[in-house]
Structure 1
Amino acid sequence: MITKAFLLFLFSDSLLIYGLIKSTGKSDWTKSDEIINLPGLSVKPSFRQYSGFLNIDKGKYFHYWFVESQRNPAKDPVILWLNGGPGCSSVIGLLTENGPFRLMDNGKNLTINNESWNKIANVVYLESPAGVGFSFSENEKYVTNDDQTAKDNLAAVLIFFQRFPYFRHNDFYVMGESYAGIYIPMLANLLLKEPNVNFKGVAIGNGAVDVTSLGTSVIEFLYSHGVIGSSQYSQVTKLCCGSTPIRYCNITISKTPACKKMVDFIQSRFHDSGLDPYNLYDVCAYKDKKDVNGLPCVDPRPARKYFSSYAVRKSLNMPEKSLWDGPCSQRLNYTGQTSTVRGYVTNLVKAKKRVLIYAGDSDMMCNWLGNLWFVESLGYKEIEPNRPWFYKDPKFGKQIAGFATIFNGIDFVTVKGSGHFVPQDKPLQAYTMFARYLQEKPY
């Protein structure tokens, strides 16, 4: 719960900021957070960017990295981007997915991302909860969960707009992927009660939106992609579902030891076999194929090297002895409480907020079929049946980017050939989808 003292703290800060802006145009905090020279860049960005801490209630400090729009910062929407986990860093999203820069494998140099989402939007990358990335708590025994993270994320949003009040009236969206499929709807429901935030909608990529739908649909996904055979598929459906169609059978709850044994075997096929669970058709980037820092088949060394540089930490306005705990935190004590976000999503639809659920169709971790089953289970009328959507390839022209189904209140979009990290795997398609969503144009 946000305390009365905390609200008074916010109010007093807003008065201070107002006075500073009136005289200087920018707050002193904003100036002190500005990134002047970012190591690894060979050219100076055309946009402003900021990095610092948002001081959350009870000694929690959330690190943010804010990149202004390259187009029209004063009028373009503000996007809050959250990576998943729980416990994975959103600055990884900035440096490997939809941010203005891409970190090279040497862990030193940055290249320009021509499909950066800040071409048309202001984007805030928030490392949440405390214990992720540079974010920390003064309480060494700090523990958190879904409910507390939602409250802390709301506090971070409110403090961000206190620090950058000239963006307060811009359209505001919350977007992210993976376990952010839980973070986002829960935060969004709290934003419904905040009249001073111009909240418009959400976009969730390959989200952990429903345990049952994802856990059961992965059996269909693996079978249809040749990862398990016909006899194994028949066994698991017979042992776990009997005569019930697999779509309506909750395979995540093992009914017998034989069912559990078969489910464990199938799960080992995509967790332990050397396949990349985030993209069936990709190579396993980490040579030992181990689960490193919570991300199997992802090499954490370039990012670790970059953020271990004192010059980088200094440019990001981080304390000299600050620690960046890798792509996914090993120190975070987190309890997941939410098995489905059904109620949160239906509340958003009732409130007429825009909802986009998109999915790379090669991801096994939070597969596209489970996301579709979740959307269909909400019962909204199908307005536009499944159809291809297109993007313009620079060499071959108009190409199919994936498939879209439009429901009354929710857009469901797949991205062909992409895994879990859509902006990383298919940057041009992801940017095209993002732009059409913001502009309310057909996919």
Structure 2
Amino acid sequence: MNFLSKLVLSLLAFKATQAIQTSFQPIDFPAPERELAHILPGEYTQLSHAAFPGYGVRVKRTEGWCDTGVKVYTGYLDVAQGAKHMWFYFFESRRSPATDDLVMWVTGGPGCSSSMDMLMQIGPCTVDPSGNGTLYNPHGWNAEVNIFYLDSPVNVGFSYSEFGEEVYTTEDAAKDAAAFAFIFTEAFAEFKGRPFHLAGSSYGGRYVPVFASEIWDMNRSAEKRGFTPINLKSIVIGDGITDAKETILAYYDMACTSASVPPVLDISTCVRMRRALPRCRELLTASCELEQSDLACTAATLFCENELSAPYRVTERNPYDLSDNECKGGIHALCYPIFNSISKYLNTPSTRAQLGVDPAVGVFVGCNNTINAGFRERFDSYRPTSFYVSSLLERGVDALIYVGTYDWICNWVGNIRWLEALEWHGQAAFNAEALSTWAGGEWKAAQVEGKTGKLLYATVQGAGHMVAYNKPSAAVAMVNKWIGAREV
């Protein structure tokens, strides 16, 4: 190794040491254990735990922001000896913070910030259309739960890395997300043993089952490692892409039949799509699921996307809402101009200062295309996620799967197909159950008492991909009833 190479390595090692020293001046716990209410506004309080070497949490109370009626906290999970930093928001429940359940929300993409869902549809506040402030959201999901929103994986939203570290698979992202959940609940004694629910949307259909499974597996060694198991009660997936194959095959049903709205594509195009279905199913099953060959899966996905996805996309209709024949704001804004307003607001220096965003973070981008491409290159969406769902159900964890009927991109047809194919002890009962109506749409559920968790599938009539944006009252009512009684 020449002198220049040695010098570069020395400088990098020195910078890494500095990063670790600056990121970690930890206050160890549980001696004494803390309460979240003890965290003060202003500077970060830094926490660590012997069971999670290389991990730490920086947290501060963020006063006067978003929902002035509850306590709000923001901060970072510092990972890998301070090399990776994952951003979170935490909002106390509007009802009873001391007793209400705990929910962790992750937005999909992959690569999209939870800030987008929070400030568009489910947070205690939404962004003003001008992007200059926030508006109180009476339908915020913290109505009856304590909730935190995590920017995962690293380099999403306000999350960042010191040396360009990236995470490009859901299984790798799960390790950091699970560690955050354990450190948070271990740090603040009031949340130990509190019923815990993991929720997410879109690519959260892949994140949520894998993240929850990582938590479940870590629970098995929790007491031996010196921390309290997380009381994992349920998973919640909204308009998820849990089974990519069934989702893409259902693009034909959504665009060419009356499964949701009247057919939107011409007959000749639909005939070609229908003829491609058997071949597409065969290719995706053989190449992406059984062989798991990158080369063969590339050919399969290119064929299927060209035959089943492209015909709808070229129409420039909104892929997130079949009832909308125009992608307003452009696809970079996911067809919702409010996304541009959110980015504008979160790039305002005064907002970033109030939240405590680290100066190392550059321009806020709602969805990181580099991360999205990295996941796609590894065919992450075609990994067998439904197996995680069935494994959780078999261990008594409940699951709510809800879908807006107007969503094309993560549609209800694909979701009900993978749910009916799901291998678990409640499969026969679930498939035999007829759909019933609820205030927002239709639902059905099954459970084997004493053996499995409860699986509940619900549609939200007239909603697109952003269910709570289109149907805010129905969405929050559904979630509250699920958390409280496992119903909708």
Counterpart among 306, 319, 325 of residue 264 in structure 1: 306
Alignment of 1:240-255 (within 5 A): 240-241=277-278
Structure 1: how far apart are the matches of 2:206 and 2:446?
21
Q: Confirm or deny: 8 A CA contact 2:248 2:309 kept in the other structure.
A: no
Question: RMSD between aligned alpha carbons?
Answer: 2.9
Structure 2: how far apart are the matches of 1:362 and 1:101?
25
Q: Deviations over 1:67-107 (max 9, x none)?
A: 00011111101100011000000011111111110112100
Give the aligned residue type for 1:69.
S
Change (3 A) 1:51 1:138: same
Q: CA deviation at 1:142?
A: 2.9
Q: CA deviation at 1:341?
A: 1.1
Q: CA deviation at 1:139?
A: 2.0
Q: Are 1:375 and 2:419 matched, yes or no?
A: yes
Counterpart among 267, 270, 280 of residue 322 in structure 2: 280
Counterpart among 404, 409, 420 of residue 443 in structure 2: 404
Q: Are 1:359 and 2:383 matched, yes or no?
A: no
Alignment of 1:150-189 (within 5 A): 150-189=174-213
Q: Deviations over 1:37-89 (max 9, x none)?
A: 32xx6xx6111010111112241111000000011111101100011000000
2:380 match: secondary structure: coil
Q: Find the counterpart in structure 2 of residue 322 from structure 1.
A: 361
> Which TM-score applies when normalising by structure 2?
0.77
Structure 1: how far apart are the matches of 2:304 and 2:80?
46
2:269 match: secondary structure: helix
Alignment of 1:12-27 (within 5 A): 15-19=28-32, 21=34, 26-27=38-39
Q: Which runs of 5+ in 1 are unaligned?
A: 1-11, 391-400
Q: Find the counterpart in structure 2 of residue 138 from structure 1.
A: 162
Structure 2: how far apart are the matches of 1:240 and 1:283?
25
How many aligned positions are there? 409
Q: Find the counterpart in structure 2 of residue 301 from structure 1.
A: 340
Structure 1: how far apart are the matches of 2:165 and 2:145?
37
Q: Which moved more, 1:277-286 or 1:92-101?
A: 277-286
Structure 2: how far apart are the matches of 1:389 and 1:250?
38
Give the aligned residue type for 1:277.
P
Counterpart among 48, 52, 69 of residue 71 in structure 2: 48
Structure 2: how far apart are the matches of 1:313 and 1:69?
24
Structure 2: how far apart are the matches of 1:55 and 1:298?
33
Q: Are 1:57 and 2:96 matched, yes or no?
A: no
Change (3 A) 1:90 1:171: same
Give the aligned residue type for 2:71.
R
Q: CA deviation at 1:425?
A: 1.2
Q: Confirm or deny: 8 A CA contact 2:154 2:167 kept in the other structure.
A: no
Q: Find the counterpart in structure 2 of residue 397 from structure 1.
A: none
Q: Find the counterpart in structure 1 of residue 20 from structure 2.
A: none
Structure 1: how far apart are the matches of 2:347 and 2:173?
27
Change (3 A) 1:50 1:275: same
Give the aligned residue type for 1:152.
D
Change (3 A) 1:283 1:90: farther
Counterpart among 330, 334, 337 of residue 380 in structure 2: 337
Q: Confirm or deny: 8 A CA contact 2:33 2:188 kept in the other structure.
A: no
Q: Deviations over 1:185-211 (max 9, x none)?
A: 001111112151111110101111111
Q: Confirm or deny: 8 A CA contact 1:212 1:250 kept in the other structure.
A: no
Q: CA deviation at 1:298?
A: 4.9
1:328 match: secondary structure: coil
Q: Confirm or deny: 8 A CA contact 1:56 1:155 kept in the other structure.
A: no
Structure 1: how far apart are the matches of 2:68 and 2:188?
20
Q: Are 1:113 and 2:146 matched, yes or no?
A: no
Q: Give identity over the alignment, percent.
A: 25
Change (3 A) 1:284 1:231: closer
Change (3 A) 1:239 1:114: closer
Q: Which has the higher helix share?
A: 2
Q: CA deviation at 1:13?
A: 6.2
Structure 1: how far apart are the matches of 2:324 and 2:276?
32
1:129 match: secondary structure: coil
2:194 match: secondary structure: coil
Q: Are 1:99 and 2:152 matched, yes or no?
A: no
Q: Confirm or deny: 8 A CA contact 1:177 1:206 kept in the other structure.
A: yes
Change (3 A) 1:269 1:131: same
Q: Which runs of 5+ in 2 are unaligned?
A: 1-24, 47-57, 223-228, 288-295, 448-453
Q: CA deviation at 1:239?
A: 4.5
Q: CA deviation at 1:337?
A: 2.5
Change (3 A) 1:95 1:260: closer
Q: CA deviation at 1:306?
A: 0.5
1:156 match: secondary structure: helix
Give the aligned residue type for 2:273.
V
Give the aligned residue type for 2:316.
G
Structure 1: how far apart are the matches of 2:328 and 2:137?
24
Q: Deviations over 1:124-158 (max 9, x none)?
A: 00000001001011122534312111111111212
1:132 match: secondary structure: coil
Q: Find the counterpart in structure 2 of residue 292 from structure 1.
A: 332
Structure 2: how far apart are the matches of 1:355 and 1:407?
10
Q: Find the counterpart in structure 1 of residue 465 from structure 2.
A: 420
Q: Confirm or deny: 8 A CA contact 2:157 2:365 kept in the other structure.
A: yes
Counterpart among 61, 64, 80 of residue 37 in structure 1: 64
Q: CA deviation at 1:319?
A: 2.5
Q: CA deviation at 1:347?
A: 0.5
Give the aligned residue type for 2:385.
V
Q: Confirm or deny: 8 A CA contact 2:39 2:61 kept in the other structure.
A: no
1:192 match: secondary structure: helix
Q: Confirm or deny: 8 A CA contact 1:132 1:329 kept in the other structure.
A: yes
Q: CA deviation at 1:19?
A: 2.1
Q: CA deviation at 1:251?
A: 7.1
1:33 match: secondary structure: strand
Q: Deviations over 1:364-383 (max 9, x none)?
A: 11101100001000151226
Q: Confirm or deny: 8 A CA contact 2:105 2:149 kept in the other structure.
A: yes
Change (3 A) 1:298 1:277: farther
Change (3 A) 1:263 1:72: closer
Give the aligned residue type for 1:436.
K
Q: Find the counterpart in structure 1 of residue 11 from structure 2.
A: none
Structure 1: how far apart are the matches of 2:205 and 2:379?
12
> Which TM-score applies when normalising by structure 1?
0.84
Structure 1: how far apart are the matches of 2:275 and 2:388?
34
